[in-house]
Structure 1
Amino acid sequence: MVKLQNHIRNGRMACLITVWGGSTRYINEWIKEFIKERGDYMQNRTLAGMIQSQLKKYENRAENALYYKEGDEWKGISWKEFGERINNTARALLELGAEENEMIAIYSSNRPEWVISDYAIMSIRCSTVAIYATNTAEQAEYIVDDARCRIIFVDDQYQYDNVMQFYKGNSKIGYVIVFSRSVKIDENDENIMYVDDFYELGRKSNQEKELQRRLASITEDDIMSVIYTSGTTGDPKGAMHAHRSFFVEIDALNSRFPMGENDIEVVFLPLSHVYEKASSYWMHSQGATQYFCSDTNKIVEYFGEIRPTYMCGVPRLFEKMYAAIYAKMEKAGGIKKSIFDWGIDIGKQYEFAKFRGEKIPASLEFKHKVAHKMVLSTVRELLGGRLNFFSAGGAPLAKEIEEFFFGANIFIAQGYGLTETAPMGSCNAPKDFKFGTAGKPIDGNHIKIAEDGEVLIKGDNVFKGYWNKPEATAEAMTDDGYFKTGDIGMIDEDGFLKITDRKKDIIITANGKNIAPQLIESRIGQDYYFEQMVVFGDRQKYLTALIVPAFPALEEYAQDKGITYKDIPDLLT
């Protein structure tokens, strides 16, 4: 049945029915019921249609759709309220004269209003322009001007003050909607308002007929999101994505991972990034619940409070978790560390045997029960106790870290993708993985390796081009329609993709040796006392590492060793 669902989602209904054993009448009735349950978006697959279908399906559900932290308390937003806020926001945008295909900016950190505004924007056939909450006024102004945004949603005082620096200047911004009531705004300007007042504007609006007309007119190929690249090699470029782009990932994830109504995601990575944005769409398409992480420094604390089943993360997060756990064990030393190492080793043996489909020997079963009680359950409890899997991307993750968490029955699904590929191109899955790789290419896109080792991707997930930059778009594509990722990689004999480095990051030393710095950075970055590091040495005789120390860890070490400030000069001589 699951396989049938996946094929229907992919539009391959007829061919699968021909090989299904049993009653054709039963199959047809089930298909009708399935499509009815999933909503009209099954026939016209748009994200706006998807969320409207889910809101209707879950409007009376007891479990909340979204949670946010207010003080020390988690507060929920029901599916019914979620829908009301989306539609009120959409009608309010129509009241402001938002036209079809207009670009509307969101300049905010993670919070429920982010996803509410995003869905509202696409519901009126407009496009969301995501701006990182940490962007400066100058960076935000560039994006707003480039995308010609008239309307912008902002989060707190930092974003509001930044927008005010260009609001009445040469910017095209005409309306500013503020999420947080704590922000001090210019109340004499009727074009600046709090989001609560914006909801009320939409609630009293007579734009419902126009909203429904626009919802019905949205197509899979409409541009619904413009996500700006970091601009490390020049001005940021706005990658344009259609609804169709994100359904490639949704279909692929549904075929590889268990996810449903009882699952809980911690929204940790910024929603302004395509990685978390795509994950959020997948969560809502499956009826899962989201908790918004407002303070990333408290993520371990949130694990205990929320007890999530899923989360998107980046390698640095897992490296720091791994380093912190091992630093604690090193400090404990002796028998405690020996037991911990033994427990992790037994966990790996047990989980790999299960993955290979082997019969577990009675001796290993017994050892695993002991290891679980003494070691493995403790590691799982640090992450809430019921985590099914992490998703990891953004940079390569060391194999030993993947295996460590796997031993504790925590699967890290490392994948690969970019802003321009919405984002996933490949990923490991619980039943088909190889640690140390980025997994196999997903259905819906094709990956090949160019002669110079560059990874090339082609498929419906690939962006529609850079906004207002046709030359940059042409430069990013091959003649046969593949996107040039700029990453160096290989596909092994089993079909798994392995990324070795960025094409532009390859270091060529003075003696002509080519060195990929990412692996070095990843290995050294596992040290508990290092916060960040970068390796450089192009055209030099040797490599150099610039390291940012983890000062809280160093302070703890100094206290344990009785090292005071006056001792530092002696330590250095």
Structure 2
Amino acid sequence: MLNFQTNSQLLYKEAINSPEKVRFMVSNNNGGFKAVTWGEFLENTIKIALYLDSIMPLTDKKFVVFAKTRVEWAYFGLAIEACRGVFVPVFHTSPESLLIYITNHSDADFIITENTLLAEIFMSIRHMPKVKKILIMDKKNDFTNVETFTPMVYIEEIYKIGSRLMEKNPDRFPQLLSNISINDTATILYTSGTTGVPKGVVLTHKNLFVNSSDWIDVLGPLIPNEKIDLLWLPTSHIFGWGELGLGHVLGFKTYFTTPLEVLGLMPIIKPTIFISVPVYWEKLYLMAVASSNIENKQFDKLIELTGGRLKFCLSGGAGLKRDVKEFYYKAGLLIIEGYGLTECSPTLTMNRGDDFDFDTVGKAFPSVTLKLAQDNEILAKGENIFNGYYKDKESSTEAFDKNGWFKTGDLGTFTDKGFLKIIGRKKEIIVTSGGKNISPALIESKFKDSPLIEHIVLYGNEHKYLTALITLNKTAAQNLSDIAIKTVVQENIDKVNKDLQSFETIKKFYIHDKSLTVEDGFLTPALKLRRNNVYVAFKDILDELHEGSALKLPQRDSYRGSETP
């Protein structure tokens, strides 16, 4: 393992040694990019850190970051780290209720945001009484000249104050770095629970450093000398934040882009590194396959679409289909996959460049020990694994067995060669192909008051969107026509969808004419849902809903709903 260093300490050393080397390429708001050097990166980070340091002692103070993926995540993130503060990211698409919950539950003193999201902050701030300041990544403009009871500070004021403090005490930033402890809390990351109430995963610098060291040990040999990276993943998620951090450690030139722009930029920027969730690898695959009936020409198209220089390919967040991986491999591109959870900082296993199995998620990282419980649940130990959830002793205790092994909630087997294969989910969490974690039970509970719907079971693991299997209350349905039933069910779904994030919404549904029963194995004796049994029995039908086929309303024995807007 490497000698312990935080990203802010690495930044300081790299910027001193190579101040003119380019670290980031950011939008110039005119269709092009402008460079940010390591020296500029350090200067901006120091200004923010010294401004924050001047407010109050910040050890263990919480900073909610509510913003889109942009270079300022790096500046503020490392400034918070340097001041021994705690980084609490929130997805910029989160509903108001979730932003309020995370801010209050984490005891956040500060919110960091951007101009385009100020409307959401203004609507929420009165419900977040602990927040002392709102720090804004942008300059003040006419559209943001709004007064709130909570002081707002814009980036130009932060830089102005920080510059004065740099001149006054040029040694203060190195002093801050020297005070960082390996056991300090680095971040609290909120993740979905089976109840739908987010849980705050507390990770220390040690947790993150150990996992980062394992990443470099395992994947370092695959990283090309010319390190051109396209970052589009949300930096509010540990996957995107990890990509940003890997770039700090290994010296990437990182282009910041968006989900809508990234694929169009690949042949222009010609990245050598691309890290993504499965859905984008699949989009490139489908475009290549559609270009010709001749396989070699399809490969040529794939190379053209990706820019022709791609060397390091990583897919995470959910499983990538085997036929897609094989296609890339035949074209000369090995897509590496692994397995992990936020609680594990996040990675437990990874396939290697010279030791991989497409049917598995690889072998354990050097610092990780894995074993299977009696029911095949994957158990893990290692210094990368968290100690507990923030202010949640019950869930923290439940997360570990009596011998201190972390219970992943996933079921697995090991191959004869030591590769881990995921065979199911013990925890009721759906992970879409876009890497979004969804608690199905929470959404399903929103239909409990519907007189027509008896059971609804969400489906969508490793798919782009959610579908649902629905059974009906026979009494409520008996006097309704087939079309009326479908219409009422659709109205019920539309009503629930309105209050959900877009990736949580139900796009299509299948109405099954029979009830889910204990006798059929779909319910426990306590009438709780046996989700995996339902998935197995109805897999073909539910998968068909994801294949875009035109579904007609059949006879009374079953019904299929059309796509939900």
**TM norm. shorter chain > 0.5:** yes
The answer to which of 169-178 and 128-137 deviates more is 169-178
Quick one: which amino acid aligns to residue 464 of structure 1? N
What residue is the counterpart of 2:66 in the other structure? 107
Once residues 224 and 45 of structure 2 are traced to their aligned partners in structure 1, the CA distance between those partners, rounded to angstroms, is 22
What residue is the counterpart of 2:233 in the other structure? 269
What do residues 154-183 of structure 1 show as CA deviations (whole Å, max 9, x unaligned)? 1242x3122212324452112112223477
Once residues 497 and 416 of structure 1 are traced to their aligned partners in structure 2, the CA distance between those partners, rounded to angstroms, is 9
- Say whether the 8 Å CA contact 1:303–1:384 is kept in structure 2: yes
The answer to which of 257-266 and 376-385 deviates more is 257-266
The answer as to 2:248 corresponding to 1:248 is no
- Say whether the 8 Å CA contact 1:533–1:546 is kept in structure 2: no
What residue is the counterpart of 2:196 in the other structure? 234
What residue is the counterpart of 1:185 in the other structure? 144
Once residues 520 and 272 of structure 1 are traced to their aligned partners in structure 2, the CA distance between those partners, rounded to angstroms, is 21
- Say whether the 8 Å CA contact 2:62–2:85 is kept in structure 1: yes
What do residues 451-477 of structure 1 show as CA deviations (whole Å, max 9, x unaligned)? 111111111111131111122111111
What residue is the counterpart of 1:545 in the other structure? 542
- Say whether the 8 Å CA contact 2:465–2:507 is kept in structure 1: no
Check 1:213–1:64 CA distance in 2 against 1; reply closer, same or farther (3 A cut).
Answer: closer
What residue is the counterpart of 1:501 in the other structure? 424
What residue is the counterpart of 1:90 in the other structure? 49
Once residues 288 and 297 of structure 1 are traced to their aligned partners in structure 2, the CA distance between those partners, rounded to angstroms, is 22
Check 1:254–1:87 CA distance in 2 against 1; reply closer, same or farther (3 A cut).
Answer: same
Once residues 246 and 172 of structure 1 are traced to their aligned partners in structure 2, the CA distance between those partners, rounded to angstroms, is 28
The answer as to 2:391 corresponding to 1:431 is no
1:162 is aligned, of 113, 120, 141, to: 120
- Say whether the 8 Å CA contact 2:7–2:248 is kept in structure 1: no
Once residues 447 and 535 of structure 1 are traced to their aligned partners in structure 2, the CA distance between those partners, rounded to angstroms, is 39
What residue is the counterpart of 2:249 in the other structure? 285
Shift of 1:286: 1.0
TM alignment of 1:16-27, pairs within 5 A:
none
Check 1:533–1:219 CA distance in 2 against 1; reply closer, same or farther (3 A cut).
Answer: farther
Check 1:462–1:167 CA distance in 2 against 1; reply closer, same or farther (3 A cut).
Answer: same
The answer as to 2:257 corresponding to 1:299 is no
1:445 is aligned, of 362, 365, 368, to: 368
2:377 is aligned, of 437, 447, 454, to: 454
Once residues 138 and 240 of structure 1 are traced to their aligned partners in structure 2, the CA distance between those partners, rounded to angstroms, is 21
Shift of 1:425: 0.6
Check 1:550–1:208 CA distance in 2 against 1; reply closer, same or farther (3 A cut).
Answer: farther
TM-score, normalized by length of structure 2?
Answer: 0.74
What residue is the counterpart of 1:382 in the other structure? 305
1:137 is aligned, of 96, 100, 114, to: 96
What residue is the counterpart of 2:175 in the other structure? 213
2:87 is aligned, of 128, 133, 149, to: 128
Shift of 1:285: 0.6
Shift of 1:255: 2.3
Once residues 393 and 5 of structure 2 are traced to their aligned partners in structure 1, the CA distance between those partners, rounded to angstroms, is 28
Q: Match of 1:395, SS?
A: coil
What do residues 70-116 of structure 1 show as CA deviations (whole Å, max 9, x unaligned)? 23111221111100011101011112225211111111110000111
Check 1:69–1:405 CA distance in 2 against 1; reply closer, same or farther (3 A cut).
Answer: farther
Check 1:272–1:210 CA distance in 2 against 1; reply closer, same or farther (3 A cut).
Answer: same
Once residues 518 and 215 of structure 1 are traced to their aligned partners in structure 2, the CA distance between those partners, rounded to angstroms, is 44
Once residues 510 and 359 of structure 2 are traced to their aligned partners in structure 1, the CA distance between those partners, rounded to angstroms, is 21
Q: Match of 1:150, SS?
A: strand
TM-score, normalized by length of structure 1?
Answer: 0.73
- Say whether the 8 Å CA contact 2:459–2:466 is kept in structure 1: no
Check 1:482–1:518 CA distance in 2 against 1; reply closer, same or farther (3 A cut).
Answer: farther
Once residues 85 and 366 of structure 2 are traced to their aligned partners in structure 1, the CA distance between those partners, rounded to angstroms, is 28
Shift of 1:524: 12
Q: Match of 1:382, SS?
A: helix
* Count of residues in correspondence between the two structures: 458
Once residues 180 and 90 of structure 1 are traced to their aligned partners in structure 2, the CA distance between those partners, rounded to angstroms, is 17
Q: Match of 2:542, SS?
A: strand
The answer as to 2:317 corresponding to 1:394 is yes
Quick one: which amino acid aligns to residue 271 of structure 1? T
- Say whether the 8 Å CA contact 2:350–2:364 is kept in structure 1: yes
Q: Match of 2:33, SS?
A: strand
Quick one: which amino acid aligns to residue 89 of structure 2? A
Check 1:209–1:100 CA distance in 2 against 1; reply closer, same or farther (3 A cut).
Answer: farther
The answer as to 2:14 corresponding to 1:54 is yes
Once residues 110 and 64 of structure 1 are traced to their aligned partners in structure 2, the CA distance between those partners, rounded to angstroms, is 16
Identity, in percent, stands at: 26
1:477 is aligned, of 400, 425, 430, to: 400
What residue is the counterpart of 1:320 in the other structure? 283
Shift of 1:273: 0.7
Check 1:112–1:242 CA distance in 2 against 1; reply closer, same or farther (3 A cut).
Answer: same
Quick one: which amino acid aligns to residue 195 of structure 2? T
Once residues 64 and 545 of structure 2 are traced to their aligned partners in structure 1, the CA distance between those partners, rounded to angstroms, is 34
Shift of 1:504: 3.4
Structure 2 residues not aligned, in runs of 5+: 431-456, 468-505, 517-521, 524-533, 551-565
What do residues 228-277 of structure 1 show as CA deviations (whole Å, max 9, x unaligned)? 10345232111111112222232222223333662011112111111121
Once residues 523 and 112 of structure 1 are traced to their aligned partners in structure 2, the CA distance between those partners, rounded to angstroms, is 29
The answer to which of 174-183 and 385-394 deviates more is 174-183
Once residues 95 and 211 of structure 1 are traced to their aligned partners in structure 2, the CA distance between those partners, rounded to angstroms, is 12
Once residues 535 and 482 of structure 1 are traced to their aligned partners in structure 2, the CA distance between those partners, rounded to angstroms, is 40
Shift of 1:223: 0.8
- Say whether the 8 Å CA contact 1:46–1:219 is kept in structure 2: no
